[in-house]
Amino acid sequence: MTSYIFRRLLSATPTLLGVTLAVFMFVHVLPGDPARLMAGIQATEEAVQLVRSSLGLDKPLWVQYGIYFNDLIHGSLGISNRDAAAVSTHLAQAFGPTLFLTLAAMVVAIAIGLAAGIIAAVSHGRFLDLWTTSLAMFGISLPSFVLALALIWIFGVDLRWFPTGGDQGVASLVLPALTLGAGAAATIARISRSEMLEVLAQDYIRMAQAKGHRLRAIVLRHALPNTLISVVTVIGLHFGFLISGAIIVETVFAWPGLGRLLIDSIAFRDYPMIQGVVLVFALEFVAVNLLVDVLYARIDPRIRYH
């Protein structure tokens, strides 16, 4: 297993290098001049040029990328253009809230999605199955910002049960977690329903039913473990997408995470910060995919890595 993990990390290196190059080129074609933003609207052209020179933006792109890449392999993500603080400091401060929000959203998604999928499969062809499937389709189709605004209006403004924004403790986590986890819950419900229906049609399930085992025991002890491979795959993919996809939710709810940091950095044309945030997202995808592969071997003993 250790050698497999090492090989996976090595194989991910070209991907990460490609991400750094793609993001570097992308941020430099964004409209707007960070030197002008830093110098001020009323600044003279000489002052703007001085700022541009101090940021290294007057050098050719290939030279700028070489400097960035050299800093990267030496463990430095650069200095923020906004406050001259290390990019890694801002990332460390923002990663915790984003991870906390994503974990809460994933708990919501797994609890609701698995329960809905199992209920729909057990009630196959009946009203409960149709209702659950329709609700899952609605959850997949509903844009997150629409759901966020609806939850804010109902539970934040009208009922005043939860804060409408900011990080004010556990209560302020409820609405963002529900918003972020809704789409993942719908997808997990559909996948778990499909896999559960396939497993429930197997001969060993019929044998257990013929022996008089209770439905709950059949589902939880025999059917559910055999659906987990596909479900874990979906959960792993959605966990990666939730971290990087929290941008809209964090912006709507003013949550102090990576998504909001990225939006603010784009508005200010803070190139080093944008590159750092996207690199964190890429590393997170690699880590989640590797974790999912390791979980496969834990769930199914027939899977072995060499």
What's the confidence (pLDDT) of residue 60? 76
Q: What pLDDT does residue 188 have?
A: 84
The whole-angstrom separation of Cα 297 and Cα 304 is: 6
pLDDT tens digits, one per residue of 199-230: 777 666 667 667 666 766 667 666 777 777 77
Question: What per-residue confidence (pLDDT) applies to 39?
Answer: 65
Residues paired with residue 86 on neighbouring β-strands, in sequence order? 79
- Residue pair 124/199 in contact by the 8 Å Cβ criterion: no
Which residues in the chain belong to E strands, given as ranges?
none
**Helices 87-122 and 271-299, packing angle to 10 deg:** 40
Compute the distance between CA of residue 107 and CA of residue 235 in angstroms, rounded to an integer: 10
Cα separation of 78 and 70, whole Å? 10
- Residue 161, judged by CB atoms within 10 A of its CB (0-12, 13-18, 19+), counts as exposed
Cα dihedral 51, 55, 56, 61, rounded to 10, equals -110
Identify the pLDDT of residue 131.
81
Burial (0-12, 13-18, 19+ Cβ within 10 Å), 201: exposed
Q: What is the CATH code of the structural domain delimited by 98-299?
A: 1.10.3720.10
Terminal Cα-to-Cα distance of the chain (whole angstroms): 6
Full-model pTM: 0.76
**Burial of 280 by CB count in 10 Å (0-12 exposed, 13-18 middle, 19+ buried)?**
buried
Q: Please say whether the beta carbons of 181 and 112 come within 8 A.
A: yes
pLDDT for position 306: 52
Instruction: Say how far apart CA 180 and CA 139 lie, in whole Å.
Output: 11
Residue 299 is predicted with a pLDDT of 58
Buried b (16+ CB within 10 A) or exposed e, 230-243: bbbbbbbbbbbbbb
Q: Along the chain (306 residues), what's the average pLDDT of each consecutive run of 10 residues?
A: 64 76 78 68 71 73 80 79 81 86 86 84 78 79 81 84 77 85 83 78 69 68 70 74 75 83 82 84 77 65 54
